[in-house]
Chains A and B, each alone.
Chain A
Amino acid sequence: MPDNAISTETIIQIERVSKWFGDFQVLQDIDLTVRHGERVVVCGPSGSGKSTLIRCINRLEEHQSGRIVVDGNELDYNTKHIHKVRCEVGMVFQQFNLFPHLTVLENCTLGPMRVRGLTKKEAKSQAMEYLERVRIPEQAHKHPSALSGGQQQRVAIARSLCMEPRIMLFDEPTSALDPEMIKEVLDVMIDLAETGMTMICVTHEMGFARTVAHQMVFMDEGRIVENAAPEQFFSNPKNERTKLFLSQILSH
């Protein structure tokens, strides 16, 4: 795919971030810099802290030490900062997490109307625009339960985009999908990548990673053990753990 120019401007700065669940340290001194327009793919074995890391970026999890700055807003105990960050960061979940009591369209208009102050009409036309972009405008008036997993996940992407975020986080967006639906979701994500959106994806879809990533991050036991450009990451990984992981995941 054509490589978008990444600016030199840092949009997410993560410095020495640590987090514990009780006695268990899930994140250990994480350092990560994401520049504007950059696409980062985070992979690693389960329990390595990758989901926790990206959930710290919009404060669904709270880090206990270190610093996270998103687009100039430091995530601290100031709820205004947290709110600002959440407005600029969209998130797509493994389990879609659509609002089951609302239609697809209402799922997409709730945030814009309540948070960005759009009128119903504005929010609707904008939602339809994004639903077209994820290729399911015809499902707008159905409830999520009437859609397939792949369709639900695309609605979830549209719902996030309706907030016009500067950054999109994907937390294993295809892991809960049937194999034949993975592609339709990845296609939408590749489209999104082409628009120059800053993206951080936790995924095991290595084909997707190869296509879109600027930066590959491999995590194990709460640490970033390898952080490299995709060419180097896939052809010549330095860390033993990365090699083992890649051999297992790419062998079939």
Chain B
Amino acid sequence: MPNSVPKLIVRKTRWWNSKWFDVLQLFVFMVGLVWVTFNGANQMGYNWQWYRIPQYFYEIIDGDFYFGPLIEGLFVTMEITAYSIFITLMVGLTTAMLRMSNSLSGRLLAWLYLEIVRNTPLLVQMFVFYFVLGPIVNLDRFWVGVLCISLFEGSFASEIIRAGILSVVKGQWEASYSVGLAQTDTYRYVVLPQAVPLMLPPLTGVIINLIKHSAIVSVIAVFDLTTQALDLIAETFMSFEIWLTVAGIYLVMTITLSVLVSFLERWVRQRS
């Protein structure tokens, strides 16, 4: 048979590779998970009282609007987070610059800080800050919490910032110096604008960790979301509902942040 056209190989999609089966699998898994939870709770005789949860978000008493303890706690958590993000980035940038500086004592200080913070538990650091540093410099517990979390996350941020700065090639520094720019201007106008887009995704990870780790301030009785939840459970014994709700609130916070940063990333990429 001359000029035979080779037979086209058609791969049929098998039913177990189809999209529908994929979705079905997820559905069955989720239903199973929910069933296991509720069945388990029923068997131990847990009394679900979801209807009592909304009042912990807000209450309207005599026509006046009040935030419930969960929202108040959320505000505190957000406040801690906001301050900590700022301080974390400052600490990270400073440490990164110290580590790359010519000053021997600067490098030593940065190294010492990184080793101590990375090699001790965050919980222990929080206690050291609260019981030792707090009384010495007369810091209230809110700021003890903020500082401790910032210094902890700052150590991770500093490595990311350092890697970002080092990824800018040497020629860029030299070009900047050769047109007479000082070191600070070189950082500000030449190096950081190129390094920041690279740092953004891993720094988002640090900030999400920061939000999650902020729950640890509950051990020094700062009234954040987690502390409020602990108190509510002590009063109401609704541990299932409240913990699930609190986890949901943290999830909403971190996912919102991720989405915002992905927009920011797109904006930065378009600009450059």
Contacts and interface: CB of A to CB of B under 8 A. Distances in A.
Interface of A: 58-60, 83, 86-87, 89-91, 93, 95, 97-101, 110-111, 114-116, 156, 159-160, 162-163
A159 B174 contact: no
B180 to A, nearest CB: 4
A86 B190 contact: no
B171 interface: yes
A156 B193 CA distance: 19
A136 B175 CA distance: 20
Contacts of A58: 177-178
Given A110-B189, A114-B189, A97 B175 contact: yes
A89 B174 CA distance: 13
Contact of B178 (A90, A95, A100, A101): A90
Contact of A159 (B179, B185, B193, B272): B179
Chain B CB count within 10 A is highest, among A95, A99, A160, for A99
A111 B172 CA distance: 13
Contact of B181 (A90, A91, A98, A111): A111
Contacts of B219: none
Given A101-B193, A101-B194, A86 B178 contact: yes
B163 interface: no
Contacts of B177: 58-60, 86
A99 B190 CA distance: 7
Interface in B168-208: 171-172, 174-182, 185, 189-190, 193-194
A98 B172 CA distance: 7
Contacts of B174: 60, 91, 93, 97
Chain A CB count within 10 A is highest, among B171, B179, B190, B194, for B179
A110 B194 contact: no
A48 to B, nearest CB: 20
B179 A163 contact: yes
Contacts of B180: 83, 86-87, 111, 115-116, 163
Interface of B: 171-172, 174-182, 185, 189-190, 193-194, 272
B272 A101 contact: yes
Nearest to B178: A91
A116 B189 CA distance: 15
A98 B179 CA distance: 11
A247 B254 CA distance: 69
Given A93-B171, A93-B174, A97-B171, A114 B181 contact: yes
A178 to B, nearest CB: 19
A197 B103 CA distance: 39
12 contacts: A58-B177, A83-B180, A86-B178, A87-B180, A90-B178, A91-B175, A93-B178, A110-B190, A111-B181, A114-B185, A116-B180, A162-B179
B178 A60 contact: yes
Chain A CB count within 10 A is highest, among B172, B189, B190, B193, for B189
A59 B236 CA distance: 71
A117 B111 CA distance: 38
Contacts of A98: 175
Given A95-B171, A97-B171, A98-B175, A115 B181 contact: yes
A83 to B, nearest CB: 7
A156 B174 CA distance: 13
B13 to A, nearest CB: 42
Contacts of A97: 171-172, 174-175
Contact of B175 (A99, A101, A116): A99
Given A91-B175, A110-B179, A163-B180, 11 more contacts: A60-B178, A83-B180, A87-B180, A97-B172, A99-B190, A111-B181, A114-B185, A115-B179, A116-B180, A160-B178, A163-B179
A-B complex: 7 closest residue pairs judged by Cβ atoms: A111-B179, A97-B175, A97-B171, A91-B178, A115-B180, A87-B180, A86-B180
A221 B71 CA distance: 73
Contacts of A115: 179-181, 185
Contacts of B179: 86, 90, 110-111, 115, 159-160, 162-163
Nearest to A112: B179
B272 to A, nearest CB: 5
A175 to B, nearest CB: 14
A33 B174 CA distance: 24
A93 B169 CA distance: 13
Contacts of A59: 177
Nearest to B171: A97
